Structure 1
Amino acid sequence: MKEQFTTTVRVKGKGEAKARAFADALSHVQAAVMKASPHILLRIEPQDVEVIHAREAVRKEAFLFFFLRRERRTFSVELDVTVSVTALNLDKVEFVTSQ
């Protein structure tokens, strides 16, 4: 009934800081695992994280094209996260019909 397996999911995240981009990507791990597995998930435990892409985009902006110049940075990451999943397999549960 209770099963344990390992799977790898690919997630993406964006943010105005490096830590925010990683946190955004890691927050999508649970949804990606739930989408890929038909079982009821009990525990998702990250085992390994591999960075596929890490990008920084710099955009220059100014008020009225001349005043208050500044650079805005946006970070984006794409990660492969290997997770150990403990789940309930509902196919192995026997339901008894009562009348």
Structure 2
Amino acid sequence: MKVVTRRQIRVSGKGSSRQHAFAAALGQVQATLLREGEQVLLRVEPLEVDVVEARERVWTERFLFLFLPREKREYSVTLDITVSMTSLDTSAVTFSRT
């Protein structure tokens, strides 16, 4: 009934800082695992995190195309994460009809 499996998933995230980009990517781990399986997750533990791609985009933003130039930054990361997940296999549970 309780199953421990190991999986590797790829997630990506964007943000205005490096921390926001990593947090956005790591926040997608549980949603990705739930979308791909029919199991109830009890615990998800990241074992390994590999950075596949990390980008920084810089551009100059101006008010009315002329005034107050400022530099804007956007960070994006793509991660390969190996997770150990403990789940409850719902297909092994028999339900009785009433």
- Please, what TM-score do these two structures have when normalized by structure 1? 0.91
Runs of 4+ in 1 over 6 A off after TM superposition: none
Q: Which amino acid aligns with 2:69?
A: R
Match of 1:50 in 2: 50
Q: Which amino acid aligns with 1:86?
A: T
* In structure 2, C-alpha distance between the alignment counterparts of 1:89 and 1:3, rounded to whole Å: 7
CA shift at 1:50, angstroms? 0.6
* In structure 1, C-alpha distance between the alignment counterparts of 2:88 and 2:81, rounded to whole Å: 21
Match of 1:62 in 2: 62
Structure 2 alignment gaps of length 5 or more: none
* In structure 2, C-alpha distance between the alignment counterparts of 1:15 and 1:97, rounded to whole Å: 49
Structure 1 alignment gaps of length 5 or more: none
Of 87-96 and 56-65, the range deviating more from structure 2: 87-96
- Please, what TM-score do these two structures have when normalized by structure 2? 0.92
CA shift at 1:36, angstroms? 1.5
**Identity score, percent:** 47
* In structure 1, C-alpha distance between the alignment counterparts of 2:70 and 2:52, rounded to whole Å: 29
